[in-house]
Structure 1
Amino acid sequence: MRMPRGGDLGPPRGDGVGWWQGVDGAAGEGENNVVDRIVDNEVIGREAELARLRALLAGDGPRVAHLHGVAGIGKTALLKRFVREALAEAACWWLDCRDIEPTPEGCTGALAQAADTDAEGLPALLETLAGRAPLGLIVLDSVEAWRLLDTWLCHRLAPRLPDNLRLVLSGRHHPSVNWAAGEFTQPPLNLPLAPLANADATRLLIRLGLAPARAAAVSGRLHGHPLAIRLAATTLRERPDHRLTDASLQRVMDELTELYLADVDDGQGRRLLEGAAVVRRVTVPLLHALFPDMAAEPAYESLRRLDFTEVLPDGLALHDAVKEPLAHTLRARDPERFLDYRRWAWQALARRAAVTANFELWRYTADMLYLIDNPVVREAFFPSGAQALVVEPARPEHGVMLERIIATHEGESGSRALRRWWRCQPEAFVVVRDEAGACRGFYCRFDPARVAPECLAEDPVTASWQTHLAADPLPEGRRALFIRRWLGEAAGERPGDVQAAAWLDLKRTYMEMRPSLARVYLTVTDLAPYAAVAATLGFRHLPAHGVRLDGRDHATAVLDFGAGSVDGWLARLAAAELGLARPEPLDRDARELVLADGRRQPLTPLEFGVFGYLVDREGEAVSRERLLREVWHSHYTGWSNKVDAVVAGLRRKLGPQAGCIETVTGVGYRYRPDPKPVSSPRG
């Protein structure tokens, strides 16, 4: 298999978590020190931007900087050039946000790993970093992957920076309104990265091997885009008569990508690039799953040497500016093969995720999320635009605005309940405001286990939810989240920008509460606008737990995440979209087994309790004593055949599927369903 040339002309590469101590003039050695592999031609034409970044090194300079621009514009290369210069007087801790879960714990854990410290908690961690060098740089690259964490970065991390630490955020989008409205002693440095000037583009093309006359002729058609320039230099050197399209950047990138692929003169090479364009990152095991007829290690190496490949902390990725047109072309030309690649990738990732330690689980969750087309989920984790509204914890001064919104959209009883929550649980409220500071809406959410029982009982809605929890209790150690209400100033509970911002922020709450989050409750007065989306996400309507307030029905919907918490839920969403979802084995409302052929079997109360307990803990070995305690509510710890008798009855009703209840010798039982097989690609 012959692949296009590459390697030396590719973007700078390196691990996503690393640090470089350069105060003594010597940067760290080894694979983590990607700074040493930067070459000058990757920052041609960026002298003005470099000069502005150097302001961070001054004692009275800005403490936060935002570098932003479109994919492939050269943000990472510029930052690494700046860091290389700064190493003479500063230490740097570099995080690639794409591979780190978007939670405060994910950020602080990765930063502590980069700094090789056991310091716990954000204040202690920042103090440790501040003591390492006279000046320190915390660089967050690809920060658009942390959209869920934007408010925390702005209002928690940045304000706590010691005087000698600087925070540099690099991403695709303009800083959100969070940063314009934040309180900083020095305004953040806002540094948009524009296309290269035509003269600089010509210089770079010549540096990359194109003849001066040819470089001057084509440079104006490349929109000053460094990745397009690199691709043009590679593809046009051997095509002296090719006339490049004078069109939009996307059209030019599509054309250059097709020319590049034309050099792949065998079917295997093209298949390899197509598969790599469908997934978030490429690993050797994933290549083996996608292409069992290829030698995975050489295939991985051929991808690594490509001009538009990025080396991630744990794998490779095609640059998005090339990946997106490749994936789009494949989807349009061969939609079935596009779906097959996603299916095969999901199966391989699901197998890996099942045996992955919790601290590494986010990588596989993010990989599976990337395979989802559902816009509600995809926008939350892979945003296509900048955040337009500020979402932040409510403060006492927001009370007047909250009161006005509540009075506009709620009746007497609903208003009284929300005002009571504002008094007894103010930390449950989150406000949504615009750049000018005006409160556009709010939402209220909390963990009922951390609220006074009398507060829950006084509100008819939460009292109803508590009744449901008592009748269908969560396993020990699992938590629920009550989303009591969201209201926009203009639209109330109806869909709109406020509701979208609230739901996006709720995804952050989901992530922070995992892996203990097991169930979410919410209420709306009009289910219709949300019915389709809610059903897709797995919410169930509970008619028996609706409440009538002020002449309006407040419907209750519930989302059960299952044994895998948020990660398991997201994996199920991906599986369902790809046609790989297993049917739910238990209809909890009807208290029936649902067999693979569609038949149903009624269950006794004890059979329902035992099977439900095992299903909720898929893959976990559960002892007989634990089942006696949790299902029978018995504290008997000796040997008993009660559990065995119930399991025997379940297995009879399961028939050919009886093997899903495994006996764990000396312990008890385990539920392990058989996933639906999908054939692997061949040839």
Structure 2
Amino acid sequence: MVRRVSELLAERATESFLGRTEEIAILLRMLETDGDLAVMHVHGAAGIGKSSLLEVYAAQARAQGATVVRLDCRVIEPTPRGFTHELASAIGHGAEEANEIADRLSQIGGRVVLTLDTYEVLHLLDTWLRLAFIPSLGDNVKVVLAGREPPNPAWNVAPEWQGWFGVLSLGPLNDDEAIDVLMRAGVSEPDSIRINRVARGHPLALKLAASTVAQRPELDLEEVAIPTVVRELTRLYLADVDDPMTRRGIEASSVVRRTTQSLLGAMLADAVPHDLYERLGALPILEYGRDGLIMHDAVREAVAAALKASDPARYQDYRRSAWRQLRSEASAAAIADLWRYTADMLYIVENLTIREAFFPSGGQHLAVEPALMEDEGPIMAITRRHDGPRAAEVIEDWWERTPHAFHVVRDKDRSVVGFYCMLDSDQIPRASLEYDPIAAAWMAHLDDVPAPERQRVLFLRRWLCKDGGETPSPVQAACWLDIKRVYMELRPNLRRVYVAVRDLPTYAPVAQELGISPIDNAHRKLDGALYHSAVLDLGPGSVDGWLTGLVATELGVEEDGVLDVGARELVVGGHRVGLNKLEFGVMRHLYEREGRAVSRADLVENVWGYDYQGGSNVVDVVVRSLRKKLGESASVVQTVRGVGYRFRGA
């Protein structure tokens, strides 16, 4: 009897995977014709076996005739654009519109399963998936989300999801399953029983123990928490790695999000990158991903913590070398590939203010959603509670003019507990500014210091928590997390964000850390209260360039050849060099179009302010002066033969 390859693959996956029979059965029941569940959220601690479970489930679902599409959230830009691009690539569809891709996904099979692994990194996209994308799928599509954290309560309490959404919590393997795992790895039954008393069925701890016990038959761990067991097993595993270069490769891999040959070459100058990459890929603690080798999170945290404690200088050297390599690669990356470098930079950052703003740790218990018309009452009640009557009238006016600019924060009971209002400067009628002195001051500043053409500017007009107002709180954190989602959606065209706060002492330290600068002549009083205005200028590199600069500051790395727009100075070799009006104009025009060839005619028109007639060498004279001031960094201003010039960051 001829058997299908899908059946053989399912058998092989099942044979190498032990336990979880009940969980797999629950997932397979989603495929039944009378099954109501459309979405299942699988969650469990790091190393508990979520990815392995999805792999086996996918194989068995295919064996039952379902079409399975698997996405790894670690490689997805957390924006609708990034998600739809990744899904379109996975199903071989050229469309980029979410509705078209949803339709196509529904048509690729009679029963379709979409799995999203490592879902915790898609916090920024959770609301869009819940409110927009998943509801647009056909009823023949089942979605499985797998991540560390439990689902946002909005999935469970929203009336429209009742009966359609399920939760599957993964715990440790039972004793029989755990002992079977160890014995199949070559550990004797007595040792398997002894080890499992400590590992307690935790799959990652079992895997590490199986790799270590052969060299250490005396392995003995105290009855401690699983994270401690994983750390200790990781330490023992590394101690048994005989080759010094492999050990250094493991250490270097622990400080980056993904390990590539180019990063290995940058961090370990004496390594043969290809050879080391292959050796690392053969280790049980790393696995091949689409963008490089991925070290298991729990192991990576253990290795990095040990390295930082034992040799902080080497730890910093790895991070600095990785930063330089990533900056170089990002400068030449296509827009579609920028996200991976953004995520890489965010991983290097240790500043919790920055990391939590994009990748929050812990579960998210609040949902941020576009405001509905019935949310006007709660929004205005919150505003009047914390702001004066004149300030509340301004917010009410913005609601009447631009309700789409408002987002609300909902708690587990779906009550509005906060909101923010953010406007696109290009979509604000000038007449509406007469009623809002703060937004008018921002627009005046924007007129005085205009953003480059085609660059976007946002006015974050107000954000408030029901109970705490402006005071930092989980509600405020939820607002800022959603605002970072907007940052990601608008990159690489987002240039500035204007904000206003009353409680300046609370926010000033964080603002300074993030590069947010006060606008002294834009502070305004409403109802006797002073609202302090500030602006975050992300620079010509938009969000990615801003993050690169923040990491550079944290690492103590100097970015040579960077233009300080505010000071009208070059920053070269740690020194500042002043520029005259024409030098600054030419440098800024090139700098803000990094990587693009700019014609002499374009420079003359935008810097000198008149039409280029040809034959004039005014541009060349200024460029020669700039290169002289740039010194050893002069090569950042490149000549494009027959066209003009191009700025290429060092």
1:293 Cα deviation after fit: 1.4
The residue number in structure 2 matching 1:20 is none
C-alpha distance in 2 between matches for 1:421 and 1:673: 41
Q: Does 1:53 align with 2:27?
A: yes
Which is worse superposed, 380-389 or 647-656?
A: 647-656
C-alpha distance in 2 between matches for 1:566 and 1:614: 19
1:512 Cα deviation after fit: 0.5
Verify the 8 A CA contact 2:366 2:412 in the aligned structure 1: yes
Q: Does 1:83 align with 2:58?
A: yes
Verify the 8 A CA contact 1:542 1:558 in the aligned structure 2: yes
Distance 1:28 1:195, change over 3 A: closer
The residue number in structure 1 matching 2:647 is 671
Distance 1:301 1:102, change over 3 A: same
C-alpha distance in 1 between matches for 2:361 and 2:10: 29
Distance 1:310 1:178, change over 3 A: farther
Distance 1:584 1:294, change over 3 A: closer
What secondary structure does 2:378 align onto? helix
Verify the 8 A CA contact 1:41 1:207 in the aligned structure 2: no
C-alpha distance in 2 between matches for 1:273 and 1:444: 46
Verify the 8 A CA contact 1:103 1:511 in the aligned structure 2: yes
1:638 Cα deviation after fit: 3.6
Q: Does 1:224 align with 2:201?
A: yes
1:541 Cα deviation after fit: 1.0
Distance 1:575 1:28, change over 3 A: farther
Distance 1:207 1:439, change over 3 A: same
Distance 1:28 1:427, change over 3 A: farther
> Which structure 1 residue ranges, 5 or more long, are not aligned?
1-23, 675-683
Verify the 8 A CA contact 2:246 2:279 in the aligned structure 1: no
Distance 1:339 1:214, change over 3 A: same
C-alpha distance in 1 between matches for 2:296 and 2:632: 47
1:58 Cα deviation after fit: 1.6
C-alpha distance in 1 between matches for 2:462 and 2:608: 36
Tell me how large the CA RMSD over aligned residues is: 2.2
Q: Does 1:533 align with 2:515?
A: no
Verify the 8 A CA contact 1:148 1:380 in the aligned structure 2: no
TM-score when normalising by structure 2: 0.94
C-alpha distance in 2 between matches for 1:320 and 1:657: 39
C-alpha distance in 2 between matches for 1:244 and 1:342: 32
1:72 Cα deviation after fit: 1.0
1:93 Cα deviation after fit: 0.9
C-alpha distance in 2 between matches for 1:652 and 1:583: 15
TM-score when normalising by structure 1: 0.90
Distance 1:67 1:25, change over 3 A: farther
What secondary structure does 1:535 align onto? helix
The residue number in structure 1 matching 2:45 is 70
What does 1:231-380 correspond to in 2, within 5 Å?
Answer: 231-380=208-357
Verify the 8 A CA contact 2:411 2:417 in the aligned structure 1: yes
Verify the 8 A CA contact 1:607 1:646 in the aligned structure 2: yes
1:642 Cα deviation after fit: 3.5
1:136 Cα deviation after fit: 0.4
- What CA deviation, in whole Å up to 9, does each residue of 1:638-668 have, x standing for no partner? 4433433444454565566655444333222
C-alpha distance in 1 between matches for 2:640 and 2:281: 44
Verify the 8 A CA contact 1:593 1:603 in the aligned structure 2: no
Distance 1:81 1:601, change over 3 A: closer
Q: Does 1:409 align with 2:381?
A: no
Distance 1:406 1:475, change over 3 A: same
What secondary structure does 2:19 align onto? coil
Identical columns (%): 44
C-alpha distance in 2 between matches for 1:601 and 1:631: 18
- What CA deviation, in whole Å up to 9, does each residue of 1:390-417 have, x standing for no partner? 1111001111101101111122321111
AA aligned opposite 1:420: D
Matched residue pairs, number? 645
Q: Does 1:150 align with 2:123?
A: no
User: Between Structure 1 and Structure 2, which shows a larger proportion of helix residues?
Assistant: 2
What secondary structure does 1:388 align onto? coil
Verify the 8 A CA contact 1:572 1:581 in the aligned structure 2: no
Distance 1:551 1:339, change over 3 A: same
Distance 1:28 1:331, change over 3 A: farther
1:479 Cα deviation after fit: 0.9
C-alpha distance in 2 between matches for 1:441 and 1:592: 42
C-alpha distance in 2 between matches for 1:521 and 1:672: 29
What secondary structure does 1:327 align onto? helix
> Which structure 2 residue ranges, 5 or more long, are not aligned?
none
C-alpha distance in 1 between matches for 2:280 and 2:570: 47
1:423 Cα deviation after fit: 0.4
What secondary structure does 2:303 align onto? helix
AA aligned opposite 2:281: R
What secondary structure does 1:231 align onto? helix
The residue number in structure 1 matching 2:373 is 396
C-alpha distance in 2 between matches for 1:599 and 1:107: 42
Distance 1:50 1:413, change over 3 A: same
What secondary structure does 1:422 align onto? helix
What does 1:419-498 correspond to in 2, within 5 Å?
Answer: 419-498=396-475
Distance 1:228 1:620, change over 3 A: same
C-alpha distance in 1 between matches for 2:275 and 2:633: 41
What secondary structure does 1:243 align onto? coil
- What CA deviation, in whole Å up to 9, does each residue of 1:469-510 have, x standing for no partner? 111112221111111110111111121111111111111000
C-alpha distance in 2 between matches for 1:78 and 1:599: 56
